[in-house]
A and B are shown apart, each in its own frame.
Chain A
Amino acid sequence: MAATAQKAVEQPVAGAESAAPARARRWRGLTPWLFLIAPLTLLIVFTYAPIANMVAYSFTDWDGVSPELNYTGADNYTEIFTREDLFRVFFVSGYYLAASAVQIAAALYFATILSFNVRFRNFFKGVLFFPYLINGVAIGFVFLYFFQDGGTLDSVLSLLGVHTDHAWLGTSTSANTSLAGVSVWRYLGLNFVLFLGAIQSIPGELYEAAELDGANRWHQFRYIIAPGIRPVLSLTVILSISGSLSVFEIPYIMTGGATGTETFVIQTVNLAFRFNKTGLASAAAVVLLLIILLVTWVQRRLVPDERVDLV
């Protein structure tokens, strides 16, 4: 009797014991998702939903405001790939691509120098990074004055004894070079900081050991720094290429795409908002997205991401 009573008492306890871990386990499985609700909602609402919307619009003839829109199938895509004038603007990206090379080289150079003990090192770091903190619109306006006839650039040059009478934004080549120059000035800081961070994660003993072995600064760069920051370097290259293909704000604000400075994104914006071809513009945006994904993929295949192990 006593035994059965004890059993009767024990049983629910035993049951509770096995139930509690199950619930706890369920909760534990759910917790990460609970924390993820906020970021996931933001990501879905502001990234994936608009992209899905854009893809949906790219199959319609929507003008951006009319309540009516017709499904036109792949017509927009056919138009994009049969009109070569829509792709001609990618030549402009060439200027920015070339500028990216200059930018990466300069950023690498400054990052290497400033990672060693140099006088006023922090000051120079600030100077290099500062342009990246300024709003792109403000930069556009400032440089309009800079390139103006008799503006800052002309004044500075005449101080140096060079009296030019050059309309900096006057011809297609000169305008694109100038705009690409502005973009180097602006984004150099970001690349520089990325490189600097990577270089500083390289253990200091390596340099000491290298110096003992008689390596000079160039050797240190060639055999320690360059391999040490390879992942960051390849990331920067990817960012530069996709950035060059989708240049927008600097040329849009400074020239509005005039004088042959129109880029693919400006053209897309014009299609959508000037000529009210939102459907076609969405398709163009999708194509740009695919091109960038493709370029990135090709690049990852050519330069696989290797683990870096210096020590």
Chain B
Amino acid sequence: MHMYRRTVLAMVTGAALLLSACTGTGGSSKGADAKAPTDPAKVSGTIKVLTVRTDLVQDGTMDKYAAEFNKTYPKVKVEFEALTNYESEVKIRMNTENYGDVLLIPAVIKKADYPKFFASLGTVEERSEKYRFTDFTTVDGKVYGQSPVGVTPGFIYNKRVWREAGVTEWPTTPAEFLTALKAIKDKTDAVPYYTNFAAGWTLTSWTYVNGSVHCDPGATTKLAEGDPWAEDADLRVGDTLLHDIVEQGLAEKDPTTTNWEESKPRTAKGEIATQWLGTWAIVQFQDAAKKAGVNPVDIGFMPFPAQTDGKFCAPVAPDYNQAVNVHSKHKDAARAWIDWFTDKSGYDKDNLAISPLKNAPLPAVMQPYEDAGVKFIEVDDSKGAQVKQIDNQSETGIYAPEYRQKLVDLARGATKGSLDDFFADLSERWTEAQR
């Protein structure tokens, strides 16, 4: 009996090993195109759109967009599937062919693999005439995704609190910024800066400092080829500022138990003065202000405290890029949705975001930016895939929370060590992975 049991087990194991050898293949329809339909009346089919906006699916906003879309494309039925844990869920589903018709390109997919998973939306030449951010999804001259909104990183701040502290001008250097936070600490009851340490992802915004410090469109290429934590490099400047804020006691008392949802109304009410996030957050904080019964006008937005040639700089980057599943049976309908959603839905305006259309005006919230003459730049992303690869290889995680959580722990004295050693360790791992 014992022998027998063993052979069964061995057979099972063997079969499973064979099975596993079969997984991870696919992408047989590599290189397909999703062409823009010429006659809207003829496009038909049911398409499933995957999204991260659980809030918009639940409150029916997405259905309103779909109804509007149906006025042009009456025969297309649009269904939405909102995923709370988008990245990890979609990643697993992408091992099959069933990952919706339209989806947001997960960060985990290697750029070189885009043609295996997504249908092309056209060549980079034709698309870049009309749209921003095309090079973020370009492989071999073909574009595979389009973001419906552009975002720029910056500090969400409570204008009233900053005014009460006597700071009316945006700080132009990290040192001035620290002085301003100190003034807030001394003159008001607000927490000068809130790290949102526990949520984790909020700290990853600090990576998007990249490009603003020196107003350099080639900042991402520098990450791929240089040392991000060298003296005066963008990430080092940003990380040092975060470190100093925490070290000088200008952040919340206990970062480990922060609460993201709670931080929104608290900022609106002026209990928290500042947070480093992005333009995408403005609308959420204004909503929180309305719900808390305070004036949403107090929510302000300011660029990173650094100037080049006397001007602030704001790098504009795409949010999640929408793409068509290469296995979709209704590629033309899926394409129609992406085009309509990007060009005509008004999703960018509803979110007070920067439009992906090159000729569109800036949203009204960015008026102070225009007045201050902030220079908008688009960081070249042709080396973006390489940066991600170095990041994974070195296990640094510039798009993951751990390393900045460690930085905050270091700054508040929960772990021992010096900032220079911390950066030196990061540099060493990064440059080693580059080889």
Q: List chain A positions with a Cβ less than 8 A from chain B.
A: 44, 48-53, 55-57, 62-69, 144, 147-149, 151, 167-172, 175, 255-260, 270-271, 273-277
Q: Are B405 and A48 in contact (CB under 8 A)?
A: no
Q: Are B254 and A170 in contact (CB under 8 A)?
A: yes
Which residues in A have their C-beta under 8 angstroms from that of B27? 67
Stretch at the interface among B15-23, B44-52, B350-358: B15-23
Q: A65-B95, A259-B256 are in contact. Are A270 and B402 (CB under 8 A)?
A: yes
Which of A53, A69, A171, A260 contacts B16, CB < 8 Å? A53
Q: Are B200 and A172 in contact (CB under 8 A)?
A: no
Which residues in B have their C-beta under 8 angstroms from that of A260? 409, 414-415
B401 contacts partner chain A, Cβ-Cβ < 8 Å = yes
B144 contacts partner chain A, Cβ-Cβ < 8 Å = no
Q: A53-B20, A65-B94, A270-B402 are in contact. Are A255 and B198 (CB under 8 A)?
A: yes
Which residues in B have their C-beta under 8 angstroms from that of A49? 12, 15-16, 19
Which of B197, B259, B392, B406 contacts A275, CB < 8 Å? B392
Chain B residue at minimal CB-CB distance from A146: B257
Q: Give, as a whole number of angstroms, the nearest-CB distance from B100 to chain A.
A: 15
11 A-B pairs (CB sep. < 8 Å): A48-B12, A50-B16, A53-B19, A63-B392, A68-B24, A148-B257, A167-B254, A168-B257, A255-B198, A258-B200, A277-B395
B110 contacts partner chain A, Cβ-Cβ < 8 Å = yes
Give A63 to B385 CA distance when docked, in angstroms: 14
B175 contacts partner chain A, Cβ-Cβ < 8 Å = no
Q: A65-B108, A148-B254 are in contact. Are A52 and B414 (CB under 8 A)?
A: no
Give A172 to B405 CA distance when docked, in angstroms: 13
Q: Are B392 and A56 in contact (CB under 8 A)?
A: no
Chain A residue at minimal CB-CB distance from B27: A67
Which residues in A have their C-beta under 8 angstroms from that of B259? 144, 148
Q: Are B108 and A258 in contact (CB under 8 A)?
A: no
Which residues in A have their C-beta under 8 angstroms from that of B23? 53
Q: A258-B401, A273-B88 are in contact. Are A67 and B414 (CB under 8 A)?
A: no
Q: Are B91 and A149 in contact (CB under 8 A)?
A: no
Q: Are B20 and A57 in contact (CB under 8 A)?
A: yes
- B321-359: CB near A (< 8 Å → 1, else 0) gives 000000000000000000000000000000000000000
Chain B residue at minimal CB-CB distance from A266: B402
- B393-425: CB near A (< 8 Å → 1, else 0) gives 001010011100110010010110000000000
Which of A55, A68, A274 contacts B397, CB < 8 Å? A274
Which of A69, A149, A257 contacts B254, CB < 8 Å? A149
Give A175 to B25 CA distance when docked, in angstroms: 43
- B258-299: CB near A (< 8 Å → 1, else 0) gives 010000000000000000000000000000000000000000
Which residues in B have their C-beta under 8 angstroms from that of A271? 395
Chain A residue at minimal CB-CB distance from B400: A274
Give A276 to B91 CA distance when docked, in angstroms: 10
Q: Are B256 and A255 in contact (CB under 8 A)?
A: yes
B129 contacts partner chain A, Cβ-Cβ < 8 Å = no
Which residues in B have their C-beta under 8 angstroms from that of A147? 257
Give A63 to B393 CA distance when docked, in angstroms: 11
Give A259 to B412 CA distance when docked, in angstroms: 11
Give A44 to B400 CA distance when docked, in angstroms: 35
Q: A48-B12, A66-B110 are in contact. Are A170 and B414 (CB under 8 A)?
A: yes
Give A171 to B116 CA distance when docked, in angstroms: 46
B13 contacts partner chain A, Cβ-Cβ < 8 Å = yes
- B227-264: CB near A (< 8 Å → 1, else 0) gives 00000000000000000000000000110110100000
Q: A65-B108, A144-B198 are in contact. Are A258 and B415 (CB under 8 A)?
A: no
Q: A48-B13, A52-B13, A65-B109 are in contact. Are A149 and B253 (CB under 8 A)?
A: yes
Q: A259-B409, A270-B402 are in contact. Are A67 and B25 (CB under 8 A)?
A: yes
Q: Give, as a whole number of angstroms, the nearest-CB distance from B290 to chain A.
A: 26
Chain A residue at minimal CB-CB distance from B93: A65
B26 contacts partner chain A, Cβ-Cβ < 8 Å = yes
Which residues in A have their C-beta under 8 angstroms from that of B13? 48, 52
Q: Give, as a whole number of angstroms, the nearest-CB distance from B23 to chain A.
A: 8
B113 contacts partner chain A, Cβ-Cβ < 8 Å = yes
Give A44 to B19 CA distance when docked, in angstroms: 12
Give A66 to B110 CA distance when docked, in angstroms: 7
Which residues in A have their C-beta under 8 angstroms from that of B198? 144, 255-256, 258
Q: Give, as a whole number of angstroms, the nearest-CB distance from A150 to chain B.
A: 9
With A44-B12, A44-B16, A273-B91 known, 20 other A-B pairs at CB within 8 A are A49-B15, A50-B16, A51-B16, A53-B16, A63-B392, A64-B91, A65-B91, A65-B94, A65-B109, A67-B24, A67-B26, A148-B259, A167-B253, A168-B257, A258-B405, A259-B414, A274-B400, A275-B400, A276-B392, A277-B395
Q: Which 4 A-B pairs have the closest CB atoms?
A: A52-B16, A169-B256, A149-B254, A49-B16
Q: Are B24 and A258 in contact (CB under 8 A)?
A: no
Q: Are B21 and A56 in contact (CB under 8 A)?
A: yes
Which residues in B have their C-beta under 8 angstroms from that of A258? 197-198, 200, 256, 401-402, 405-406, 409
Give A169 to B401 CA distance when docked, in angstroms: 17
Q: A167-B256, A275-B395 are in contact. Are A52 and B17 (CB under 8 A)?
A: yes
Q: Are B24 and A62 in contact (CB under 8 A)?
A: yes
Which residues in A have their C-beta under 8 angstroms from that of B17? 52-53, 55-56
Give A169 to B259 CA distance when docked, in angstroms: 14
Q: Give, as a whole number of angstroms, the nearest-CB distance from A191 to chain B.
A: 29
Q: Give, as a whole number of angstroms, the nearest-CB distance from A267 to chain B.
A: 10
Give A257 to B401 CA distance when docked, in angstroms: 10
Which residues in B have their C-beta under 8 angstroms from that of A259? 256, 405, 409, 414-415
Q: Give, as a whole number of angstroms, the nearest-CB distance from B204 to chain A.
A: 11
Highest count of chain B CB atoms <10 Å: which of A50, A257, A276:
A276
Q: Are A144 and B257 in contact (CB under 8 A)?
A: yes
Give A64 to B88 CA distance when docked, in angstroms: 10
Give A273 to B88 CA distance when docked, in angstroms: 7
Which of A57, A67, A172, A175 contacts B113, CB < 8 Å? A67
Q: Give, as a whole number of angstroms, the nearest-CB distance from B184 to chain A.
A: 19
- B154-183: CB near A (< 8 Å → 1, else 0) gives 000000000000000000000000000000
**Restricting to B356-415, which residues have a CB under 8 Å from any CB of A?**
391-392, 395, 397, 400-402, 405-406, 409, 412, 414-415
Which residues in B have their C-beta under 8 angstroms from that of A172? 414-415
Give A275 to B113 CA distance when docked, in angstroms: 17
